[in-house]
Structure formats: C-alpha cells, structure tokens
C-alpha cells in the first residue's frame, strides 16, 4: 500500500482500557487480557454494560441509513481496503492470535489468511443483483428486492475469534447493514479490536461499526435492544438456546451457529495411515476447541486394533508447548474452566469403561493429546462436546451400525467418511443427519465461499458464508409500480 500507515495496527496506547464505538473510548469497566500459555497480562480492555450497548445500537441505527445509501462501489472500496490492510498487518495479527487465543503458529496463520480471503470475497456483495422482476398484471411492475436489515448484532466466540467475527461483520457491512460486535472478552483484541481497526483505517464512516466486549448481561442487552434487527451468534449450544429464546421473544431474525459432536467414520477399506492423519488433525487442531472437531471416531472393527495402535504412535510424536516460542502441535486451552471440563469428561469416560490409551494429564492449561478407546454409546465421552484434545474412538461392525452411531446425537453440524470406495462412502453420507458432509476428509472444513451451518442442537438451520450471506443479512421487500393509482369501488 502506497499511503502512509501506522507502524502497528494495534498500538497499545490506542485501545488500553477502551473499546470502539465509532471512536476509541473508555468502557464502563476494565478487564485484564491474559495470555493462556504463560498466564501473563497482554493489557487491559474496556468493557461495555447494557447502557453502552443501547447507546451504540441507537447510533448504529442512525448511521446505517447513510451507509446503505452509499453507491455500491463506495461500500465495496472500503471492504477492499480493509482486505489490503489485513494483508499488510498479517504478521501482527498472527502474533495476537497466537498469544491471546493460544493458537499454534500454523492455525494462527491460517486464520489470518482466511480473514483476508473473506474480506476479498465480500467485496463482490455490494454489487450483487438485489432482486428480481415478478410476473404481474398489465400496467403494473412488480419487483422483489433484497434490503438491508438495519443493525446486526454479532456475538462471537474465543476459539477462531477473528474468523468467526469477520465472517458475520464483513458481509453484513457489505450488504448495507450497521454492526454491533460483542467479541468474547478473552479474545477481544484479536477477535474484536483487529476488526475495528481494519475498518477504521479503511475509512468506514463512524458509527457504522461498534466493537464492545462485554459479559452475558451485555449480550442479553444486545439481543433485546429495539434498534437491533438481527442477532448472529456463534458459541455453545447452551448459550445459543438462551439467545434464540430471547431473539424470538423480541421478534428478531436470529442465526445460531452452535456446537457439535461430529463423527468421523473410518471404513474397513480405508488407508490406515491416511485415516490416522485425518483423525489427528480433526481431533487435535487448536486443542480440539473447534465446533467441527472430530468428536467421535467410528472405526470398522477389522481395522480398529491397528488404528488405535497407530493413533497412539502419532500422538507420541506431537509436541505440546507455548506456540509463541516454537512450532508446536498442541498449545494451551483457553482457560482453567475449559481444562477442567475436558479433564472431567476423560475421568467420567474411564469410570464408565473407556480405556485411556495415552494422555489425560495436564500442566497449567496444557492438556496432553489424549486417546480414549472402547468408548460405548452410553459413555459420557461419546455424547458430550469436550472442546479439548481428546480423540474418542468407538468400533462398529456394519455400515448400518456406523450410520446409527453417527446419528445418535442431538447435534447435526459436520460429519465425514473415509473409504477407498467413494460410492460406498456417499451411500453412507446420504443417510447422515448433518449440515456439512465430507467424503474422504475429516470434519474440520470451512472456506469463505461455502454456506456454513448445522441443525438440531448445532443451530437453527440457518447458514452464513458464500451464497447464504445475501439471504441471511438482508430481507425481502415487495415493490409494485403503476403509472397512476386506480380508482377502487369503495
């Protein structure tokens, strides 16, 4: 980029003790940002209460009117500039993802690159066809057109903090909405302030975007605010149920992207080494803190003993440590609550009859990559979302058994089948109740051009991303035009 830019995207003097509401301002309280790997402080951020949420939503509603009225190329140019800025500050963004969210270097680099690609993809949204001409009676023009919703409230999680915030913020803005983003306070810098700063430097008009870290009360205020037309929530199923209930009570459109207990099915004709590699990636990427993680590994019985043996060998070669100091496979979990949850599920699984093949211990927030075998369908580890680096391995006999076991869950996010017979794998896939299906891959897959979503306890059947964005972040308006008004009989 030719113009003079700040040396750093996030100079601490800009955001310390503050949040973003069209400008950097003090919050109603301050909290410490903790580096999971070391326990050290990364700085202090401002927090928003219900009053500040309401104030921001009112400002956003006013600002949205002018923003949506801008020529589509003006909106596209701002999104395009934000994408170039994301590329310019790539290394700094990666550094924040590593230190604040505990991401390994590879995961952080991938997330930062997805962020840039997502922004580039959204530059085409402002110029998309906004509707269609409908059949009508002679003398009347009938149109159906997509219109911005107004203010979109986005509540984003800690695990892929930047990507899962930007995948809602960018398309919502591109389609003419204003946005109030409430990032998880544990990752408010990489998952919130990066977003604010990119769009601030890109020239987004003040008031169109607000980034307000806050607790559950702030989220509840956002969901209830009359100036907010839609809530896009990504997080746990338990929290999502509350958000969905509140949004429905206030007659808001709501998109819920929730948890998953995703099955990776390994058939008896699969290449063993490939199957083990896919399992390790799907179960241990980002310490298993991914809604799409391969939470169940269902292995056909004839392959099962050798599979478990090879998976244990794979785990023995995985490095655990501070991702800021080396290229490790497993970094820290986000906090002690998540660590203790993973430890409890492992302990309960063993008590229920599962075999601990390797791992199960932790030091500080570093949880060892773990393999549990002989996990039966009534075992807690088979049913609970662990959100930790734990591979849960269960044998099955027939293809019908695999389908039955995979579908034995309230979740329906992502599933995968590995086989040398693609036709067989597809026949199994057709019977799986899941929002996303991958043949000859593991369950953790997402790109900026695909509709992402699940059903059941994994969401409310909505999707965002790719072709789903236009539908999700706009609403239909029917317009008719006559050359002159008719005279009605009464």
313 noted as active-site residue: no
Distance (Å, whole) CA 470 – CA 183 = 23
Active-site pick, 257, 357, 385, 472: 257
Q: Which stretches does DSSP call E strand in 368-473? A: 370-373, 390-396, 414-418, 436-439
291 noted as active-site residue: yes
Distance (Å, whole) CA 277 – CA 290 = 17
Distance (Å, whole) CA 326 – CA 318 = 13
Cross-strand partners of 436: 414
Token digits of residue 50: 């219900």
Q: Are 258 and 240 in contact (CB under 8 A)?
A: yes
Distance (Å, whole) CA 435 – CA 437 = 7
- Give the burial class of 275: count Cβ atoms within 10 A of its Cβ; 0-12 exposed, 13-18 middle, 19 or more buried: buried
Those residues whose C-beta lies under 8 Å from the C-beta of residue 199, and which sit 6 or more positions away, are 78, 82, 173, 209
State whether residue 472 is helix, strand or coil: helix
H or E stretch at 200: helix 194-202
Distance (Å, whole) CA 418 – CA 266 = 5
Distance (Å, whole) CA 64 – CA 248 = 23
Distance (Å, whole) CA 284 – CA 274 = 15
Q: Are 93 and 115 in contact (CB under 8 A)?
A: yes
- DSSP line for 261-298: --EEEE-TTS-HHHHHHHHHHHHHGGGG-STTS--EEE
* Three-state SS annotation for 78-136: HHHHHHHHHHHCHHHHHHHHHHHHCCCHHHHHHHHHHHHHHHHHHCCHHHCCCEEEECC
Q: Are 240 and 256 in contact (CB under 8 A)?
A: yes
Dmax (CA) for the chain in angstroms is 84
Active-site pick, 291, 368, 385, 472: 291
CA distances from 128 to 121, 173, 258 (A): 12, 14, 29
Helix residue ranges per DSSP H, 203-264: 216-224, 237-249
Q: In what order do the strands lie in the sheet with 436-439?
A: 355-358, 370-373, 390-396, 296-300, 263-266, 414-418, 436-439
Q: Which residues are catalytic?
A: 257, 291
């Amino acid at each position: 980029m030719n113009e003079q830019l700040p040396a750093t995207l996030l100079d601490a003097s800009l955001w310390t003790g503050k949040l973003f509401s069209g400008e950097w301002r003090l919050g109603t309280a301050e909290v410490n940002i903790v580096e999971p790997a070391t326990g050290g402080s990364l700085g202090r951020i401002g927090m928003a209460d219900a009053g500040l949420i309401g104030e921001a939503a009112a400002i956003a509603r006013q600002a949205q009117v002018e923003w949506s009225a801008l020529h589509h190329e003006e909106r596209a140019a701002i999104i395009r500039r934000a994408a170039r800025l994301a590329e310019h500050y790539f290394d700094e963004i990666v550094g924040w993802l590593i230190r604040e969210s505990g991401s390994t270097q590879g995961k952080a680099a991938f997330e930062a690159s997805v962020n840039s690609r997502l922004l580039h993809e959204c530059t085409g949204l402002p110029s998309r066809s906004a509707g269609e001409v409908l059949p009508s009676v002679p003398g009347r023009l009938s149109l159906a057109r997509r219109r911005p919703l107004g203010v979109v409230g986005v509540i984003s999680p800690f695990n892929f903090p930047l990507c899962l915030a930007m995948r809602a913020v960018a398309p919502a803005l591109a389609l003419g909405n204003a946005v109030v983003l409430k990032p998880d306070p544990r990752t408010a810098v990489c998952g919130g302030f990066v977003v604010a700063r990119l769009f601030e430097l890109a020239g987004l008009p003040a008031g169109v975007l607000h980034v307000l870290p806050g607790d559950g009360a702030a989220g509840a205020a956002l969901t209830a605010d009359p100036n907010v037309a839609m809530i896009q929530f990504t997080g746990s199923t338990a929290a999502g149920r509350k958000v969905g209930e509140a949004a429905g009570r206030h007659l808001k459109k709501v998109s819920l992207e929730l948890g998953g207990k995703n099955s990776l099915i390994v058939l008896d004709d699969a290449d063993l080494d490939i199957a083990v590699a896919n399992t390790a990636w799907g179960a241990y990427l980002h310490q298993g803190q991914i809604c799409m993680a391969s939470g169940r590994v269902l292995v056909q019985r004839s392959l099962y003993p050798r599979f478990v043996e090879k998976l244990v060998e794979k785990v023995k070669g995985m490095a655990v440590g501070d991702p800021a100091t080396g290229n490790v496979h497993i970094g820290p979990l986000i906090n002690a609550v998540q660590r203790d949850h993973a430890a409890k599920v492992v302990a309960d699984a063993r008590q229920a009859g599962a075999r601990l093949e390797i791992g199960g211990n932790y030091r500080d927030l570093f949880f060892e990559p773990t393999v549990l075998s002989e996990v039966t369908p009534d075992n807690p580890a088979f049913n609970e979302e662990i959100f930790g680096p734990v591979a849960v391995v269960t044998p099955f006999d027939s293809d019908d058994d695999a389908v039955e076991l995979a579908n034995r869950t309230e979740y329906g996010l992502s599933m995968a089948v590995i086989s040398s017979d693609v036709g067989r794998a597809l026949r199994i896939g057709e019977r799986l109740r899941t929002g996303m299906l991958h043949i000859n891959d593991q369950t953790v897959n997402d790109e900026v051009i695909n509709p992402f979503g699940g059903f059941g306890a994994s969401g409310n059947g909505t999707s965002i991303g790719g072709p789903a964005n236009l539908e999700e972040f706009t609403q239909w308006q029917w317009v008719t035009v006559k050359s002159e008004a008719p005279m009605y009989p009464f």
